[in-house]
Amino acid sequence: MKDYLTLDDFPIDNQRILVRVDVNSPMDPDGTILDDKRFRSHLQTLRDLEDSRVVLMAHQSRAGKKDFTTMEAHAKRLTQLLRREVTYVDDIFGTRARESIRAMKPGDVILLENTRFYSEENISRPAVDHAKSHMVRGLAPLFEVFVNDAFAVSHRSHLSVVGFTEVLPSAAGRLMEKEIEALDMGVRGNEHPSIFVLGGTKADDSIKVIANVFNRGGVDQVLVTGVVATVFQMASGIDVGERNREFIAGLDYSVQVEVARDLLDKNPGKIVVPGDVALDQDGERLDVPMGKIPPDLQIADIGLETIVEFSKRIREAKIVVLNGTAGIFEKEKFALGTSEILKASTEAAFSIAGGGHTTAAIEQLGLEPKFSHVSTGGGASISYLSGDLLPGIEALKKAAHRYRT
């Protein structure tokens, strides 16, 4: 039995259901939504609620940003994708919002105003404190069930994410359910070989993930790329060249090098570092073995031999989890490592990808349909893989316990 409830645990037809979604998307200056991936990720939840009275809560950007705007364009895009009218209400919990909700008929869908227009939304507080807010007090009596389908913001203890779970029967939406199940499969590593591939520039995040998955004991190997690899190479005593040592020092990662050294000592043979790298020589790719890096050249990708070796290991994996790019993917000469690793991952038995740059690369290569799961949450997915408790998910678990007892 799951430790949270889902849509299958409640009667939902003809019920008023409050659903937190995450359709926060890039927008151009005229208010056009440039990418509707997050909208599409919620369609299954909304289709399963087609006979309910559905009220959606969401945010767009944050105060001070140019794209901090109303949800009017989002309602129109949802209408197009869902092929049902989604009515925009330019109010969050005031009289206009409450009257619109009371007047709903089965099958109606409303999208309320940007939750971040209400200042208390952005304050991180325990769920029990958020439950006392004007928003929760004004809206909760109008609903039978609260659904959190916004995995990507569930690492934040914000009002619309956790506040309603204290006072309403609460469930995970289909997207939330899918995210939890896929990421759990990656962390547990119940099928072997189970491999993590961690890259990008945020070595501190990746090191937390590595510590967590080895502590849980299910993962066979971690392949490191990008800046994460440089940190582990330095921890291994490999000479990465003066330019790259200075780069790591500039990121203030000296502590991370020490933590990486400890992880290498405790998990011998399980953390695999690249044997060669590609350097940026005046914009051209120069592949060299480790230990042969000139002092003035920057590492920009994993090397050709490492690409072949890592790709082979990944293709043979039963589970592969990826987060972070292997090099400077934005530059064509240094995109090879990332693209080849992503292609190899689609041949693994079960493939999970997370992180903004990784998902962007997957989309650019047209590989998303070939992945078993591409996470919608950047910070949320890395937090989950690190073993951190996500407030939005923990609130659902507490609500489930209350409901069952």
Check whether residue 74 and residue 215 sit in a common domain: no
What's the chain's average pLDDT? Answer: 96
Is residue 19 located within the same domain as residue 106? yes
Give yes or no: residues 122 and 225 share one domain: no
The pLDDT of 256-271, averaged and rounded, is 96
Query: What integer pLDDT is reported at residue 217 of this predicted model?
Result: 86
357 is in an annotated binding site: yes
60 annotated among ligand-binding-site residues: yes
Biggest CA-to-CA distance, the chain: 72
Q: Is residue 52 part of a domain?
A: yes
Q: Are residues 89 and 129 in the same domain?
A: yes
Residues 13 and 151 reside in one and the same domain: yes
242 is in an annotated binding site: no
Domain assignment present for 81: yes
**Residue 380 lies inside a defined structural domain of this protein:** no
Q: Binning pLDDT at 50, 70 and 90, where does residue 355 land?
A: confident
Evaluate if residue 277 carries a pLDDT over 90. yes
Q: Mind listing the pLDDT tens digit for each residue in 244-253?
A: 999 999 999 9
The model's pLDDT over 150-161, given as tens digits with 9 standing for 90+, comes to 999 999 999 999
Give the CB-side neighbour count of residue 151, counting CA atoms within 13 A: 28
Binding residue per annotation — 38? yes
222 φψ region: left (φ > 0), alpha (ψ -120 to 50), beta (else): beta
Annotation-wise, does 155 bind a ligand? no
Asked whether residue 125 is marked as a ligand-binding residue, the answer is no
* Residue 53 is labelled as binding a ligand: no
Please check the confidence at residue 378 and state whether its pLDDT lies above 90: no
Its domain, for residue 20, covers: 7-174+389-404
pLDDT at 255: 93
C-beta atoms surrounding 152 within 10 Å: 24
Asked if 393 and 195 touch (Cβ cutoff 8 Å), the reply is: no
Q: How confident is the model at residue 283 (pLDDT cuts 50, 70, 90)?
A: very high
Does the annotation place 275 within a ligand binding site? no
Q: Are residues 165 and 226 in the same domain?
A: no
* Average pLDDT of the residues in 345-361: 94
pLDDT at residue number 28: 92
Q: Kindly tell me if the per-residue pLDDT of 190 is higher than 90.
A: no
Confidence grade of residue 274 (pLDDT, cut at 50, 70, 90): very high
Distance between CA 245 and CA 231 in Å, rounded?
9
State yes or no: 62 annotated in a binding site.
yes
The beta-carbon contacts of 242-247 under 8 Å, at least 24 apart in sequence, are 242/295, 242/296, 243/295, 243/296, 243/297, 243/298, 244/293, 244/298, 244/299, 247/298
Q: Is 356 annotated as a binding residue?
A: yes
Residue 358 among known ligand-binding residues: yes
Q: Is 85 annotated as a binding residue?
A: no
Tell me, yes or no, whether 80 lies in a domain. yes
> Structural domain tally of the chain?
2
Looking at the fold, whether 118 and 222 belong to one and the same domain comes out as no
State the CATH number of the domain containing residue 299. Answer: 3.40.50.1260
Per-residue confidence band for 2, with pLDDT thresholds at 50, 70 and 90: very high
What's the whole-model pTM score?
0.94
24 known member of a binding site:
yes
Confidence of residue 134 (pLDDT cuts 50, 70, 90): very high
